[in-house]
Amino acid sequence: MSTEDQSESQQPTLYEVIGGAERLRELVDRFYDLMDLEPEFAGIRVMHPTPMDSSRDKLYWFLSGWMGGPELFVERFGHPRLRARHLPFAIATAERDQWLRCMAWAMQDVGIKEGMQQRLMEAFYQTADWMRNTPG
């Protein structure tokens, strides 16, 4: 293994950089708390069951693997197939933007560093935009 390969393999994952399991759970819980509490997120809140415990767990499990931590979602359900799993829900630009705003607010509230917030929001935007399945 070359020195360059060694340094690449030693780069911390996003999961490690944000603080691991505890910090990720805090982020996901704040995201769903905001979705439940803030009227501006009503458009995405209505897409979730009450209570939202299963949604909280699924996002936490998914983000764990997506950020380079344990592949908790894949271990339970296999490939995420995000777009297919979300097709039953009408997701347009308004829903995409609500999801992104809610996640940005949650990251701020739990103290994710600004540079990391920006990096994550760029990645979240790509996925959230791809999830749109309804004009508007």
Tens digits of residue pLDDT in 20-59: 999 999 999 999 999 999 999 999 999 999 999 999 999 9
Mean pLDDT of the chain: 94
The tokens for 31 are 């995201």
18 domain-assigned? yes
Q: Is the peptide bond before 51 cis (omega within 30 degrees of 0)?
A: yes
Q: What is the pLDDT of residue 55?
A: 97
What is the end-to-end Cα distance of the chain in Å, rounded? 50
> How many domains would you assign to the chain?
1
Task: Record the pTM.
Answer: 0.91
We report the CATH number of the domain holding residue 125 as 1.10.490.10
The total of other beta-carbon atoms located within 10 Å of residue 66's CB is 19
101 domain-assigned? yes
9 domain-assigned? no
96 domain-assigned? yes
Provide the domain limits for residue 46: 14-131
Q: What is the rounded CA–CA span in Å between residue 63 and residue 69?
A: 8
* Exposure b/e, 42-63, CB count within 10 A at least 16 = b: ebbbebeeeebeebbebbbbbb
Q: Is 128 exposed, middle or buried (0-12, 13-18, 19+ CB in 10 A)?
A: buried
Contact 121, 103 (CB under 8 A): yes
